[in-house]
């Protein structure tokens, strides 16, 4: 018996369905571009069993993977729970044995030492293999066709960190992946391990450094010369975990931090810059010009997550959970630990922003992200009282001209993160499609929109309809058909 789910944090459209399914040939309106040949993989979460503690972090829901497969103008869908050790071990008792987000001490005795990851954050495809990622554990390999879970991958024993980020970066010029694990030697440890993985999937280098205080390092950036680690505000300690709390608390007295080190160094040149209170989660891109490093990122003013409480006991302040595209510049030729910061667009944006990844680490002009456009209508009678909270639009933010090209998804729709799909054969930045799922709050089902990334204002090229609510994603990426090899196929040295 499953306890009736009754958690205010996941209701209505977002109430768990505990449903896995497949649609062989989805309903489509409009025309799917014929050159889209690949898979849109989404990773997110849904509570299979309700949380042990009703105020647990939403980021602790069970991992769920879904794939929209595009071929010859047609689209299929498959969605599965990720078979983590937590998911599997909960099935026998039929309830949630795992406690607060990233606090093993609050698990039931029977599972206290078990790997408790939910693998619910992002997909990664590298060297032909598909993974689900969460920053508290190693990558969990999935079968790219069936989406079955295969197992954790430590890359032949060469990843010695206990954790690996959900936001690895690939250098588009070499195909090399750079990634890192924080809390690398155990919960609340100040170890940060950086890894270089070549295009064939071999770990070629490890760098070990320390952080000035233990915090979420959720994302990072690479330029051609540097590796850049932004974080701040959230913190933890063994004392905090022993108190039985959720992993992170927000301490507004802590500085925001940006660590910068050379890609070709050994970590000894790592330099920490300090700034004002910020919640720095996701980045857009970074570039280096000699000693000048530029980081483009949508950062929040303060604590974004209500379930990671302020350590001073003050209530969460929604007016500060607001995010702007920012440009941070660092001059490595000068002493001191300050950066310069500029807000690039006056309007608040969603922080799940994307660049054309063919230009990752290189100068870029466009940032794509979803946002709430207050000038667009919302049909409260049909979609419920959600106005003001609805991410109803995608934008292409032009960093050269300041212009924003906008796509509006509909007056009963809430958009999730957008994903950039390059047009096959194209080489100019931003030439491709912007795709992503929209929650149709009136009809209680999920739709996938496909827009020309250079003509957002002209509306969608196509819309794919699912007959149910698909589990919501955290992050999704597009993988060309040739990037995902069937399990068992020969691989290595991909062209």
Residues that bind ligand V55 (CB under 6 A): 59, 120-121, 134-135, 216, 218, 281, 474
**Alpha carbons 181 and 185: distance in angstroms, whole number:** 9
Nearer to ligand V55, 56 or 135 (CB): 135
DSSP-assigned letters across all residues of 398-464: ETTT--EEEEE--TTEEE---EEEEPTT--STT-EEEEEEEEETTTTEEEEEEEETT-GGG-EEEEE
Q: What are phi and psi of 243, to 5 degrees?
A: -75, 0
Nearer to ligand V55, 141 or 165 (CB): 165
Taking alpha carbons only, the member of 404, 373, 406, 403 closest to residue 391 is 373
Please compute, for residue 133, the number of CA atoms within 13 A of its CA located in the half-sphere on the CB side.
Answer: 25
In the complex, the smallest distance separating the C-beta of residue 264 from ligand V55, rounded to whole angstroms, is 29
In the complex, the smallest distance separating the C-beta of residue 244 from ligand V55, rounded to whole angstroms, is 19
Nearer to ligand V55, 351 or 356 (CB): 351
Nearer to ligand V55, 297 or 474 (CB): 474
In the complex, the smallest distance separating the C-beta of residue 120 from ligand V55, rounded to whole angstroms, is 5
Tokens at residue 284, please?
């857009």
Taking alpha carbons only, the member of 366, 307, 295, 355 closest to residue 477 is 355
**Alpha carbons 424 and 436: distance in angstroms, whole number:** 18
In the complex, the smallest distance separating the C-beta of residue 303 from ligand V55, rounded to whole angstroms, is 12
Taking alpha carbons only, the member of 489, 476, 486, 454 closest to residue 43 is 476
Q: Name the residue whose CB lies closest to ligand V55.
A: 59
Tokens at residue 474, please?
């955290």
In the complex, the smallest distance separating the C-beta of residue 474 from ligand V55, rounded to whole angstroms, is 4
In the complex, the smallest distance separating the C-beta of residue 391 from ligand V55, rounded to whole angstroms, is 14
**Alpha carbons 385 and 166: distance in angstroms, whole number:** 33
In the complex, the smallest distance separating the C-beta of residue 43 from ligand V55, rounded to whole angstroms, is 9
Nearer to ligand V55, 56 or 405 (CB): 56
* Helix, strand, or coil (residue 318): helix
Nearer to ligand V55, 32 or 192 (CB): 192
Q: Where are the beta strands (DSSP E) in 263-305?
A: 271-275, 285-289, 292-300
- Cβ pair 70, 38 in contact under 8 A: yes
- Cβ pair 219, 283 in contact under 8 A: yes
Nearer to ligand V55, 97 or 119 (CB): 119
Nearer to ligand V55, 196 or 316 (CB): 316
In the complex, the smallest distance separating the C-beta of residue 281 from ligand V55, rounded to whole angstroms, is 5
């Amino acid at each position: 018996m499953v306890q009736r789910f009754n958690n205010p944090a996941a209701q209505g459209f977002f109430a768990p369905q505990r449903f896995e399914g497949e649609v062989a040939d989805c309903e489509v309106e409009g025309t799917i571009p014929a050159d889209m040949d690949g898979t849109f993989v989404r990773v997110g979460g849904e509570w299979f069993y309700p949380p042990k503690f009703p105020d647990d972090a939403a980021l602790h829901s069970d991992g769920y993977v879904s794939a929209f497969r595009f071929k010859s103008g047609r689209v299929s869908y498959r969605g599965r729970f990720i078979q983590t050790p937590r998911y599997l071990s909960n099935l026998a008792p039929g309830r949630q044995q795992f406690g607060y987000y990233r606090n093993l001490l609050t698990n039931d005795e029977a599972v206290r030492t078990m790997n408790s990851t939910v693998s619910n954050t992002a997909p990664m495809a590298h060297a032909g293999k598909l993974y689900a990622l969460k920053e508290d554990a190693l990558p969990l390999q999935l079968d790219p066709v069936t989406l079955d879970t295969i197992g954790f991958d430590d890359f032949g024993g060469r990843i010695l960190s206990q954790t690996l980020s959900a936001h690895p970066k690939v250098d588009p010029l070499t195909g090399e992946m750079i990634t890192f694990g924080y809390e690398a030697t155990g919960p609340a440890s100040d170890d940060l391990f950086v890894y270089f993985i070549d295009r064939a999937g071999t770990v070629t280098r490890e760098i070990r450094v320390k952080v000035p205080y233990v915090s979420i390092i959720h994302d990072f950036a690479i330029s051609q010369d540097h590796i850049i680690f932004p974080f701040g505000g959230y913190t933890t300690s063994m004392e905090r975990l022993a108190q039985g709390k959720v992993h992170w608390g927000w301490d507004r007295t802590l500085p925001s931090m940006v660590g910068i080190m050379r890609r070709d160094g050994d970590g000894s040149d790592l330099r920490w810059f300090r700034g004002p209170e910020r919640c720095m989660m996701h980045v857009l891109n970074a570039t280096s010009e000699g000693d000048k490093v530029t980081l483009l990122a949508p950062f929040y003013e303060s604590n974004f997550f209500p379930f990671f409480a302020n350590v001073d006991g003050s209530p969460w302040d929604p007016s500060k959970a607001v995010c702007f595209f920012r440009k941070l510049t660092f001059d490595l030729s000068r002493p001191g630990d300050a950066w310069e910061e500029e807000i690039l667009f006056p309007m608040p944006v969603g922080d799940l922003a994307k660049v054309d990844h063919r230009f990752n680490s290189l100068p870029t002009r466009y940032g794509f992200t979803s946002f709430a456009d207050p000038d667009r209508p919302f049909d409260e009678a049909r979609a419920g009282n959600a106005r003001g909270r609805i991410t109803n639009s995608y934008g292409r933010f032009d960093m050269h001209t300041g212009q924003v090209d906008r796509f509006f998804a509909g007056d009963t729709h809430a958009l999730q993160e957008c994903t950039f799909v390059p047009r096959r054969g194209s080489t100019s930045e931003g030439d491709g499609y912007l795709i992503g799922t929209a929650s149709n709050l009136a009809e209680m089902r999920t739709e996938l929109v496909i827009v020309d990334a250079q003509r957002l204002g002209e509306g969608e090229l196509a819309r794919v309809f699912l007959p149910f609510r698909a589990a919501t994603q955290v992050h999704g990426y597009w993988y060309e058909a040739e990037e995902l090899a069937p399990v068992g196929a020969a691989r290595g040295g991909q062209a």
